[in-house]
Homo-oligomer: A and B are copies of this chain.
Amino acid sequence: MNFPNLPQSELLRLYESLTRIRLFEERIVERYHEQEMKTPVHLCLGQEAVAVGVCSRLAREDYIFSTHRSHGHCIAKGMPLRLIAAELYGRESGCAGGRGGSMHLVAPDWGIPGSTAIVGGSIPLAAGAALSAKMQNNGRIAVAFFGDGASEEGSFHESLNFAALHALPLIFVCENNFYATNSPFKARQPECGIAAKGAGYGIPSVTADGNNLGTVYQVAGEAIERARSGGGPSLLEFETYRWKGHVGPACDFEAGCRPKDELERWLERCPHRLYRDGLLGSGQVSCADLDAIERNLRHEIDDAFDFARASAWPDPATLLEHVC
Protein backbone atom coordinates (compact mmCIF):
# COMPACT_ATOMS: atom_id res chain seq x y z
CA MET A 1 0.00 0.00 0.00
CA ASN A 2 1.37 3.28 -1.18
CA PHE A 3 -0.07 5.22 1.73
CA PRO A 4 0.13 8.95 1.28
CA ASN A 5 2.17 11.07 3.59
CA LEU A 6 -0.30 13.83 4.28
CA PRO A 7 -1.63 15.90 7.14
CA GLN A 8 -4.31 14.19 9.16
CA SER A 9 -7.04 16.56 8.02
CA GLU A 10 -6.34 15.77 4.38
CA LEU A 11 -6.27 12.05 5.08
CA LEU A 12 -9.65 12.31 6.74
CA ARG A 13 -11.05 14.44 3.97
CA LEU A 14 -10.13 11.68 1.55
CA TYR A 15 -11.64 9.06 3.79
CA GLU A 16 -14.82 10.98 4.08
CA SER A 17 -15.14 11.39 0.33
CA LEU A 18 -14.37 7.73 -0.33
CA THR A 19 -16.90 6.65 2.24
CA ARG A 20 -19.53 9.06 1.05
CA ILE A 21 -19.49 7.48 -2.37
CA ARG A 22 -19.44 3.96 -0.99
CA LEU A 23 -22.39 4.55 1.31
CA PHE A 24 -24.37 6.46 -1.26
CA GLU A 25 -24.03 3.69 -3.82
CA GLU A 26 -24.90 1.09 -1.19
CA ARG A 27 -27.99 3.04 -0.33
CA ILE A 28 -29.06 2.90 -3.94
CA VAL A 29 -28.53 -0.87 -3.91
CA GLU A 30 -30.71 -1.08 -0.81
CA ARG A 31 -33.55 0.95 -2.17
CA TYR A 32 -33.51 0.35 -5.88
CA HIS A 33 -35.86 -2.63 -5.64
CA GLU A 34 -38.59 -0.32 -4.41
CA GLN A 35 -38.76 0.87 -8.01
CA GLU A 36 -39.06 4.48 -6.97
CA MET A 37 -35.82 5.42 -8.64
CA LYS A 38 -37.10 4.94 -12.14
CA THR A 39 -33.84 5.47 -13.95
CA PRO A 40 -31.02 3.08 -14.86
CA VAL A 41 -28.15 3.22 -12.35
CA HIS A 42 -24.54 2.46 -13.23
CA LEU A 43 -22.88 2.02 -9.87
CA CYS A 44 -19.21 2.67 -9.21
CA LEU A 45 -18.86 0.35 -6.23
CA GLY A 46 -15.29 -0.90 -6.28
CA GLN A 47 -14.02 2.02 -8.34
CA GLU A 48 -14.39 4.84 -5.82
CA ALA A 49 -10.71 5.55 -5.30
CA VAL A 50 -10.24 6.94 -8.80
CA ALA A 51 -12.96 9.53 -8.34
CA VAL A 52 -11.65 10.57 -4.95
CA GLY A 53 -7.98 10.57 -5.82
CA VAL A 54 -8.55 12.78 -8.83
CA CYS A 55 -11.28 15.10 -7.63
CA SER A 56 -9.68 15.74 -4.25
CA ARG A 57 -6.85 17.44 -6.14
CA LEU A 58 -9.14 19.74 -8.06
CA ALA A 59 -10.45 23.16 -7.18
CA ARG A 60 -14.17 23.66 -7.09
CA GLU A 61 -13.96 25.76 -10.27
CA ASP A 62 -12.12 23.09 -12.22
CA TYR A 63 -14.25 21.17 -14.69
CA ILE A 64 -15.07 17.52 -14.82
CA PHE A 65 -17.10 15.78 -17.50
CA SER A 66 -18.43 12.38 -16.65
CA THR A 67 -20.26 9.45 -18.17
CA HIS A 68 -23.12 7.08 -17.49
CA ARG A 69 -21.13 5.96 -14.42
CA SER A 70 -20.89 9.39 -12.84
CA HIS A 71 -22.08 9.19 -9.24
CA GLY A 72 -18.63 8.82 -7.75
CA HIS A 73 -17.08 11.60 -9.79
CA CYS A 74 -19.80 14.06 -8.92
CA ILE A 75 -19.82 13.22 -5.23
CA ALA A 76 -16.05 13.48 -5.03
CA LYS A 77 -16.21 16.83 -6.81
CA GLY A 78 -18.42 18.11 -4.01
CA MET A 79 -21.85 18.00 -5.56
CA PRO A 80 -24.48 17.90 -2.80
CA LEU A 81 -26.12 14.51 -2.38
CA ARG A 82 -29.56 16.06 -2.29
CA LEU A 83 -29.22 17.18 -5.89
CA ILE A 84 -28.22 13.69 -6.97
CA ALA A 85 -30.78 11.75 -4.95
CA ALA A 86 -33.64 13.96 -6.06
CA GLU A 87 -32.59 13.49 -9.67
CA LEU A 88 -32.58 9.72 -9.25
CA TYR A 89 -36.09 10.01 -7.86
CA GLY A 90 -37.14 12.09 -10.84
CA ARG A 91 -38.03 15.15 -8.79
CA GLU A 92 -38.13 18.82 -9.62
CA SER A 93 -35.49 19.48 -6.99
CA GLY A 94 -32.99 17.19 -8.71
CA CYS A 95 -29.92 18.65 -10.34
CA ALA A 96 -31.61 18.58 -13.76
CA GLY A 97 -35.15 19.08 -12.53
CA GLY A 98 -35.85 15.41 -13.25
CA ARG A 99 -35.01 15.72 -16.91
CA GLY A 100 -31.64 14.02 -16.79
CA GLY A 101 -31.86 11.05 -14.47
CA SER A 102 -28.89 9.04 -13.29
CA MET A 103 -26.80 9.35 -16.44
CA HIS A 104 -26.76 13.12 -16.80
CA LEU A 105 -25.68 14.50 -13.45
CA VAL A 106 -24.83 18.16 -13.63
CA ALA A 107 -23.79 20.85 -11.17
CA PRO A 108 -22.25 23.91 -12.78
CA ASP A 109 -21.57 25.50 -9.42
CA TRP A 110 -19.30 22.60 -8.55
CA GLY A 111 -17.54 22.54 -11.91
CA ILE A 112 -19.70 19.83 -13.42
CA PRO A 113 -21.14 21.07 -16.72
CA GLY A 114 -22.71 17.68 -17.24
CA SER A 115 -22.40 13.99 -17.94
CA THR A 116 -23.13 12.02 -21.06
CA ALA A 117 -24.38 8.50 -21.58
CA ILE A 118 -22.90 8.31 -25.05
CA VAL A 119 -19.65 6.45 -24.62
CA GLY A 120 -16.71 8.66 -25.56
CA GLY A 121 -18.76 11.84 -25.53
CA SER A 122 -17.27 13.24 -22.35
CA ILE A 123 -13.77 13.41 -23.78
CA PRO A 124 -14.03 16.16 -26.42
CA LEU A 125 -16.40 18.12 -24.20
CA ALA A 126 -13.76 18.20 -21.47
CA ALA A 127 -11.18 19.22 -24.07
CA GLY A 128 -13.49 22.08 -24.97
CA ALA A 129 -13.72 23.17 -21.37
CA ALA A 130 -9.93 23.05 -21.16
CA LEU A 131 -9.67 25.18 -24.28
CA SER A 132 -12.16 27.57 -22.78
CA ALA A 133 -10.14 27.82 -19.57
CA LYS A 134 -7.00 28.40 -21.57
CA MET A 135 -8.60 31.11 -23.69
CA GLN A 136 -10.06 32.81 -20.64
CA ASN A 137 -6.80 32.34 -18.83
CA ASN A 138 -8.71 31.65 -15.64
CA GLY A 139 -6.35 29.05 -14.23
CA ARG A 140 -8.86 26.24 -14.37
CA ILE A 141 -8.21 22.78 -15.67
CA ALA A 142 -10.56 20.13 -16.98
CA VAL A 143 -10.84 16.40 -16.42
CA ALA A 144 -12.42 13.89 -18.79
CA PHE A 145 -13.57 10.77 -16.99
CA PHE A 146 -14.21 7.80 -19.22
CA GLY A 147 -14.02 4.02 -19.30
CA ASP A 148 -11.83 1.54 -21.14
CA GLY A 149 -14.61 1.10 -23.68
CA ALA A 150 -14.60 4.81 -24.44
CA SER A 151 -10.92 4.63 -25.32
CA GLU A 152 -11.96 2.75 -28.46
CA GLU A 153 -14.07 5.60 -29.78
CA GLY A 154 -12.62 7.96 -32.36
CA SER A 155 -13.40 10.87 -30.08
CA PHE A 156 -10.61 9.71 -27.76
CA HIS A 157 -8.01 9.92 -30.51
CA GLU A 158 -9.36 13.20 -31.83
CA SER A 159 -9.24 14.69 -28.35
CA LEU A 160 -5.74 13.39 -27.58
CA ASN A 161 -4.49 14.99 -30.77
CA PHE A 162 -6.20 18.31 -30.16
CA ALA A 163 -5.18 18.49 -26.52
CA ALA A 164 -1.56 17.70 -27.34
CA LEU A 165 -1.52 20.19 -30.20
CA HIS A 166 -2.72 23.03 -27.98
CA ALA A 167 -1.11 21.88 -24.74
CA LEU A 168 -4.51 22.07 -23.10
CA PRO A 169 -4.91 21.97 -19.32
CA LEU A 170 -6.71 18.65 -19.53
CA ILE A 171 -6.41 15.32 -17.75
CA PHE A 172 -7.67 12.23 -19.53
CA VAL A 173 -8.72 9.87 -16.75
CA CYS A 174 -9.54 6.40 -17.96
CA GLU A 175 -11.06 4.01 -15.48
CA ASN A 176 -10.07 0.70 -16.96
CA ASN A 177 -12.38 -1.81 -15.31
CA PHE A 178 -11.68 -4.31 -18.08
CA TYR A 179 -15.25 -4.48 -19.28
CA ALA A 180 -17.61 -2.51 -21.45
CA THR A 181 -21.02 -3.82 -20.49
CA ASN A 182 -20.21 -7.54 -20.63
CA SER A 183 -17.52 -7.38 -23.28
CA PRO A 184 -14.11 -8.16 -21.88
CA PHE A 185 -11.16 -5.96 -22.72
CA LYS A 186 -9.47 -8.58 -24.87
CA ALA A 187 -12.48 -8.90 -27.15
CA ARG A 188 -12.15 -5.21 -27.94
CA GLN A 189 -8.52 -4.19 -27.86
CA PRO A 190 -5.10 -5.66 -28.45
CA GLU A 191 -3.13 -6.10 -25.22
CA CYS A 192 -1.22 -2.84 -25.47
CA GLY A 193 -3.04 -0.95 -22.77
CA ILE A 194 -4.70 2.40 -22.95
CA ALA A 195 -1.87 4.53 -21.63
CA ALA A 196 0.16 3.34 -24.61
CA LYS A 197 -2.05 5.44 -26.84
CA GLY A 198 -0.81 8.67 -25.29
CA ALA A 199 2.77 8.24 -26.43
CA GLY A 200 1.75 8.63 -30.07
CA TYR A 201 0.81 12.22 -29.25
CA GLY A 202 3.68 12.97 -26.91
CA ILE A 203 1.32 13.05 -23.95
CA PRO A 204 2.72 11.95 -20.59
CA SER A 205 0.80 8.77 -19.85
CA VAL A 206 0.78 6.28 -17.03
CA THR A 207 -1.00 3.13 -16.01
CA ALA A 208 -1.56 2.93 -12.28
CA ASP A 209 -3.44 1.05 -9.61
CA GLY A 210 -6.87 2.58 -9.43
CA ASN A 211 -7.80 0.81 -6.24
CA ASN A 212 -5.04 2.43 -4.28
CA LEU A 213 -6.21 5.87 -3.29
CA GLY A 214 -2.71 6.97 -2.39
CA THR A 215 -1.44 6.11 -5.83
CA VAL A 216 -4.29 7.83 -7.60
CA TYR A 217 -3.86 10.90 -5.42
CA GLN A 218 -0.20 11.10 -6.25
CA VAL A 219 -0.42 10.39 -9.96
CA ALA A 220 -3.36 12.74 -10.42
CA GLY A 221 -1.62 15.41 -8.41
CA GLU A 222 1.39 15.39 -10.69
CA ALA A 223 -0.73 15.55 -13.82
CA ILE A 224 -2.89 18.33 -12.44
CA GLU A 225 0.15 20.31 -11.38
CA ARG A 226 1.57 19.93 -14.87
CA ALA A 227 -1.68 21.00 -16.50
CA ARG A 228 -2.07 23.98 -14.25
CA SER A 229 1.42 25.19 -14.89
CA GLY A 230 1.03 25.12 -18.67
CA GLY A 231 2.61 21.71 -19.20
CA GLY A 232 -0.30 20.38 -21.18
CA PRO A 233 -2.41 17.27 -20.98
CA SER A 234 -1.80 13.90 -19.34
CA LEU A 235 -3.39 10.53 -19.81
CA LEU A 236 -3.97 8.47 -16.68
CA GLU A 237 -5.14 4.90 -16.97
CA PHE A 238 -6.32 3.54 -13.64
CA GLU A 239 -6.90 -0.17 -13.39
CA THR A 240 -9.91 -1.03 -11.31
CA TYR A 241 -12.99 -3.22 -11.29
CA ARG A 242 -16.69 -2.80 -10.94
CA TRP A 243 -18.38 -4.98 -8.40
CA LYS A 244 -21.94 -4.83 -9.64
CA GLY A 245 -23.38 -5.58 -13.05
CA HIS A 246 -22.99 -3.00 -15.78
CA VAL A 247 -26.31 -1.45 -14.85
CA GLY A 248 -28.53 -1.90 -11.84
CA PRO A 249 -27.86 -3.00 -8.27
CA ALA A 250 -27.29 -6.72 -8.88
CA CYS A 251 -24.14 -8.74 -9.37
CA ASP A 252 -23.67 -10.27 -12.79
CA PHE A 253 -21.38 -13.20 -12.39
CA GLU A 254 -24.28 -15.59 -11.72
CA ALA A 255 -25.60 -14.70 -15.14
CA GLY A 256 -22.30 -15.80 -16.60
CA CYS A 257 -21.15 -12.32 -17.50
CA ARG A 258 -17.84 -12.55 -15.67
CA PRO A 259 -15.92 -15.25 -13.79
CA LYS A 260 -16.66 -15.26 -10.07
CA ASP A 261 -13.06 -15.71 -9.02
CA GLU A 262 -12.11 -12.59 -10.93
CA LEU A 263 -14.59 -10.63 -8.85
CA GLU A 264 -13.32 -12.27 -5.68
CA ARG A 265 -9.76 -11.30 -6.40
CA TRP A 266 -10.81 -7.71 -6.87
CA LEU A 267 -13.02 -7.71 -3.78
CA GLU A 268 -9.90 -8.51 -1.81
CA ARG A 269 -8.46 -5.30 -3.16
CA CYS A 270 -11.40 -3.17 -2.04
CA PRO A 271 -10.24 0.43 -2.37
CA HIS A 272 -12.14 1.47 0.73
CA ARG A 273 -10.78 -1.24 2.98
CA LEU A 274 -7.25 -0.75 1.67
CA TYR A 275 -7.36 2.92 2.46
CA ARG A 276 -9.07 2.43 5.82
CA ASP A 277 -6.49 -0.15 6.83
CA GLY A 278 -3.69 2.13 5.76
CA LEU A 279 -5.19 5.01 7.65
CA LEU A 280 -5.56 3.05 10.85
CA GLY A 281 -2.12 1.55 10.32
CA SER A 282 -0.62 5.03 10.02
CA GLY A 283 -1.55 5.58 13.64
CA GLN A 284 -2.89 9.04 12.86
CA VAL A 285 -6.53 8.17 13.44
CA SER A 286 -8.61 5.82 15.51
CA CYS A 287 -11.48 3.55 14.62
CA ALA A 288 -13.71 5.87 16.56
CA ASP A 289 -12.71 8.82 14.34
CA LEU A 290 -13.72 6.88 11.28
CA ASP A 291 -16.93 5.63 12.79
CA ALA A 292 -17.89 9.19 13.57
CA ILE A 293 -17.31 10.18 9.99
CA GLU A 294 -19.44 7.30 8.80
CA ARG A 295 -22.22 8.20 11.16
CA ASN A 296 -22.30 11.73 9.85
CA LEU A 297 -22.30 10.48 6.30
CA ARG A 298 -25.22 8.19 6.97
CA HIS A 299 -27.14 11.20 8.23
CA GLU A 300 -26.18 13.14 5.14
CA ILE A 301 -27.42 10.31 2.95
CA ASP A 302 -30.62 9.87 4.97
CA ASP A 303 -31.22 13.55 4.52
CA ALA A 304 -30.59 13.40 0.78
CA PHE A 305 -32.96 10.50 0.24
CA ASP A 306 -35.61 11.99 2.53
CA PHE A 307 -35.30 15.27 0.70
CA ALA A 308 -35.64 13.51 -2.63
CA ARG A 309 -38.69 11.53 -1.67
CA ALA A 310 -40.37 14.52 -0.13
CA SER A 311 -39.75 16.69 -3.17
CA ALA A 312 -42.39 17.60 -5.70
CA TRP A 313 -42.67 15.98 -9.09
CA PRO A 314 -41.89 18.10 -12.10
CA ASP A 315 -45.03 19.63 -13.56
CA PRO A 316 -45.93 17.84 -16.82
CA ALA A 317 -47.02 21.21 -18.14
CA THR A 318 -43.35 22.19 -18.17
CA LEU A 319 -42.45 19.31 -20.48
CA LEU A 320 -41.30 21.60 -23.27
CA GLU A 321 -39.28 23.95 -21.08
CA HIS A 322 -35.50 24.10 -21.47
CA VAL A 323 -35.46 22.51 -24.93
CA CYS A 324 -33.47 25.43 -26.30
Contacts and interface: CB of A to CB of B under 8 A. Distances in A.
Contacts of A197: 200
Contacts of A164: 190, 192
A158 interface: yes
Contact of A154 (B158, B192, B200): B158
A192 B189 CA distance: 23
**Identical chains bound together, number:** 2
A188 interface: yes
Most chain B CB within 10 A, of A191, A192, A198, is at: A192
A5 B228 CA distance: 55
Contacts of A161: 152, 188-190
Contact of A200 (B165, B192, B202): B192
A196 interface: yes
Contact of A165 (B154, B189, B198, B201): B189
Contact of A157 (B154, B198, B199, B202): B154
A306 interface: no
Interface of A: 152-158, 161, 164-165, 188-192, 196-202
7 contacts: A154-B158, A157-B157, A161-B189, A191-B202, A192-B200, A196-B200, A199-B200
